[in-house]
Homo-oligomer: A and B are copies of this chain.
Amino acid sequence: MTQHRDPVPEALVFNADGLLPAIIQDDESGEVLMLAWMDREAVRRTLTSGRVTFWSRSRGEYWRKGDTSGHRQYVRSVAMDCDGDTLLVRVVQLGAACHTGTRSCFTEREIAALVGDPSAPEE
């Protein structure tokens, strides 16, 4: 009998809702495109299909990025963080990652912030 090993690492930690955040980064430019959520099954689909799948918290359903918009995300690599509770997915992004039509969900949404000075005396 063939044993099918689960491609989802045991070390992954999902929150009380069974989800973890996935950061989506443009593999070529390094631009951070968006953050969305995955449950274990969405992680499994992302790892095994070459396309990024999320769990939509608002719609309560799986959401394979680009199926409606055509703005598909092709997986280049996936990494987890030291706590196993966040994923970093590097992708080839077709078109706009954001549903508002901007390349990234962070485009033109800067918040005024004081810039820190690494050469300042340590407080």
Question: A21 contacts which chain B residues (CB < 8 A)?
Answer: 21, 35, 86
Within 8 A of B (CB), among A1-49: 7, 9, 21, 23, 25, 29-32, 34-35, 46-49
Number of chain A residues close to chain B: CB under 8 A = 53
Determine how many copies of this chain the complex contains. 2
Give which listed residue, B79, B83, B122, contacts A111 with CB less than 8 A.
B79
Question: A30 contacts which chain B residues (CB < 8 A)?
Answer: 29-31
Within 8 A of B (CB), among A65-97: 72-83, 86-88, 91-92, 94
The interface of chain A, by Cβ under 8 A from chain B, is 7, 9, 21, 23, 25, 29-32, 34-35, 46-51, 72-83, 86-88, 91-92, 94, 98-100, 102, 105-106, 109-118, 120, 122
